[in-house]
Structure 1
């Protein structure tokens, strides 16, 4: 099977260099590497002009619109081959990454997506905890990630993670990443929208912890600064999650999700219970997160209703 590796990048040339170096030593050689670069990203353009690709069939795609969704859609439009494997510029795939990915796709023609563990490096430490439940959408709408902690055998899941996900191009067809995802950079939950759309079409998603990348979370150049609260980023996250789940869930589960989201919620998308639980430890920050979550839920509902009217 012919593999295209797709890497969106923005102003992180040192991280990109590590990623490309990891692709140079794959046990199954890459057939095509596509790096999507913003037109204003002078640092990356300078790096690529001096980079020696050696055995990598490197292709550069220029994009003018900000955000990971625009970058990935620009890349998808130029993909060639049977499998497109997506990773981040701050990740380094293990040497057998493509070999293991291809083995899954060859084994079952009903598999549309394959993902795996991203081993997160923080300073000199690696997060080495373990979880059995990974990438699952519970019946009432809570999404369990844990892709960076997964252990055990390969299994079918609902959601893959953007830093380590591969797709059969035949299954993708004309599907694109959802441009309604908010954010100027990370656009959280974009991969959930994509993988759940494929699930609705009847395809399988497989998570295999041995399909692994090393992940070195790098600086972001947008409102979403990972572990620091930002009101706009928080609203965007909750909006995106709400929109995706409202579109995916059937009517009864959709109603249950809205009730649960408002009453309970999660640590990332507060409901009333989460606010009360975290108020003693987070104080005013908990209140800000709760109120911001309400705004994100409401805006996600509005976007969903607008789509229903248009259709």
Structure 2
């Protein structure tokens, strides 16, 4: 099976260099490597003009619209492989990454997606906790991630993580990443919409912790700055989650999800119960988080209704 690797990148040439070096070291050679670059990203273009690909079949795709969704959709249009594997420019796949991915797809023709663990490096420290529950959607709409902490054997999941996910191109067909996702960079939960769509089409989604990448979270150049709270980023995150879940869940579970999300919520997407829990430790900022979360829920509902009406 031929492998294509997609790498969306923006203004992180040093990280991209590390990623490309890891692809060069794969035990199963890359058949096609596509780097998607913003037209205004002079830093990356300068790096690519100097980069010697050695045995790496490198191809660039230019995109003018900001955000990972536009980048990946542009990249998908150029894919020629039987498998398309996606990683971030600040990640370095382990040497057997493509080999293990290919084995899963070869062994079961019903598998549409494969993902694995991203070992998160925070400076000199690696997050090495462990979780057995990974990538699951609970009946009332809560999504459990933990892809960076997963242990155990391969198993079916509901959601993969964008830094480490692969798909059978036959399963993708004409499917694209959801352009309703908000944000000008990371567009959080874009991968959730994609994997849910494949599951609705009947494909298996597999998580295998041994399909691994090292992840070195780098600086973002958008409103989502990881550790620093942004009302805009929070609203976008909650909007995206709401749009995806309202699309995926059946009618009764949609209602349950909205009640749970507004009443309880999570630490990232606050409801009133989480607001009460966090207020003693976080003070006034938790009011902004609740306001941004409720705004995101409402805007996500509106976006979902627009699609229904159209």
Q: Same fold (TM over 0.5)?
A: yes
- 1:194 and 2:174 aligned: no
For 2:125 and 2:24, the matched residues in 1 are separated by 25
Show structure 2 runs of 5+ residues with no match.
none
The C-alpha deviation readout for 1:15-74, integer Å capped at 9, x for no partner, is: 000000000010000000000000000000000000010000000101111000000000
- 1:304 and 2:294 aligned: no
- 1:75 and 2:75 aligned: yes
- Residue in 2 that maps onto 1:250: 250
- 1:93 and 2:67 aligned: no
- Residue in 1 that maps onto 2:149: 149
For 1:243 and 1:39, the matched residues in 2 are separated by 29
- Residue in 2 that maps onto 1:63: 63
For 1:164 and 1:100, the matched residues in 2 are separated by 12
- Secondary structure, aligned partner of 1:287: helix
For 1:203 and 1:252, the matched residues in 2 are separated by 24
How far off its partner does 1:81 sit? 1.3
- 1:275 and 2:259 aligned: no
- Residue in 2 that maps onto 1:288: 288
- Residue in 2 that maps onto 1:228: 228
The C-alpha deviation readout for 1:266-287, integer Å capped at 9, x for no partner, is: 0110001000000000011111
- Residue in 2 that maps onto 1:168: 168
For 1:42 and 1:8, the matched residues in 2 are separated by 15
For 1:274 and 1:287, the matched residues in 2 are separated by 11
The C-alpha deviation readout for 1:74-103, integer Å capped at 9, x for no partner, is: 000000010000000000000000000000
For 1:283 and 1:308, the matched residues in 2 are separated by 39
How far off its partner does 1:218 sit? 0.1
Aligned residues: 310
How far off its partner does 1:12 sit? 0.1
- Secondary structure, aligned partner of 1:211: strand
For 2:266 and 2:227, the matched residues in 1 are separated by 15
- Residue in 2 that maps onto 1:116: 116
How far off its partner does 1:291 sit? 1.0
For 1:309 and 1:62, the matched residues in 2 are separated by 34
- Secondary structure, aligned partner of 1:104: helix
- Secondary structure, aligned partner of 1:148: helix
- Residue in 1 that maps onto 2:19: 19
